[in-house]
Amino acid sequence: DLGRANADENNVDDIARARPNQAVVDYVLSVADRWLGEFDIDGFRLDVPNEVPFWFWKLFNARCKSLKPDCYLVGELWGNAGRWISPDCFDATMNYKYFRDPVMDFFGKGAIGAAAFDQRLGPGRFEYPPQSVAVMMNLIDSHDTIRFLTSTRDVRRLMLAAMFSMSYVGMPTIWYGDEVGMLGGKDPDCRRPFEWRFEGDPRKVALREFYGTITRFRRDHEVMRRGEFTTLAAEGSAYAFARTLGQEVVVAVFNAGPAPATLLLAGESIRALLPVAAPTIARVVVGPDSFPRAAAGPLATGGAVDLGGETVQISLPGLSAVWLQN
């Protein structure tokens, strides 16, 4: 029984100390052999890995990477996973602490302001290796959590969280059904069957189309996946940041509060992120008009904003957001 081999099991590096059941070790490693070698899967999500001796995951990693060097190993760890994130253990973790929890508190509950939100996100970018930060499993919902929409009862808040996940650093993860506004309480209610008849509800169809728009944009623009992240402003309920790659910039601005909000962004700060010759006229990729009950004004989808001025004024209705791409 690997889970009871040693009272200090999660600090054991010497296999001999833990007296493992070699037959169990060999069997689990053979599972990796089969799925990676025979079926060429992309990787494994590893449930409660902290309940298995740490040394075992080093063996598992070595076996998996020998079969498929780019296979993805992600551990279900709810806190800081610093000791687990390394080339010889896991590539990433389910990012509850540095993504899901602050996203719920800011976008979902409105329990914290933008400055606190930015502070809680920061350690997730700085405490792990950059190659792991880039592939962190950023989730809004999972099989273990009350669904976001059940907690908030406002589809605009879910849309804000989804739009943020598609523009933030890491790997956005959609728990099936969120894209059509499924509800669900505590496990097992959050694991309801998918609502296959969602097409009969125009609101669910519209939400799915919104998810399609933001996921396609992320897929089609490398800056959203690999661009440098820079916080531009965090005031009240309004939060703005930039993703930059080469001559391309995407500025994302969010208003997580119910009242309108205005941010004045320093054009100099945005220009400093780009080469001198980079264009500064940005089109509105997704505007406030994508959100229910939000008037678009000058930020209507398809419009344009000059990011090159001394100041860039962004005014958003309550519970809405905008993406600007040069």
CA-to-CA distance for 143 and 317, rounded, in angstroms?
33
31-39: long-range pairs with CB below 8 Å, 24+: 32/60, 32/63, 32/64, 32/67, 33/63, 33/67, 36/64, 36/67, 36/68, 36/71, 37/67
Residue 125: closest CA among 160, 168, 89: 168
> Is 40 considered catalytic here?
no
Q: Which of 13, 33, 42, 47 is catalytic?
A: 47
Regarding beta strands 137-139 and 171-173, do their DSSP bridges make them parallel or antiparallel, or are they unpaired?
A: parallel
> Is 51 considered catalytic here?
no
Helix ranges, 33-113 (H): 54-67, 101-103
Is residue 24 within a helix (H) or strand (E), and if so which, with residue range? Answer: helix 22-32
Contact 323, 284 (CB under 8 A): yes
Contact 326, 280 (CB under 8 A): yes
Q: Which of 9, 76, 91, 179 is catalytic?
A: 76
CA-to-CA distance for 170 and 133, rounded, in angstroms?
6
Q: Kindly state the tokens that stand for 16.
A: 């001999």
Torsion of CA 121, 74, 213, 291, to 10 degrees: -40
Catalytic residue annotation: 47, 76
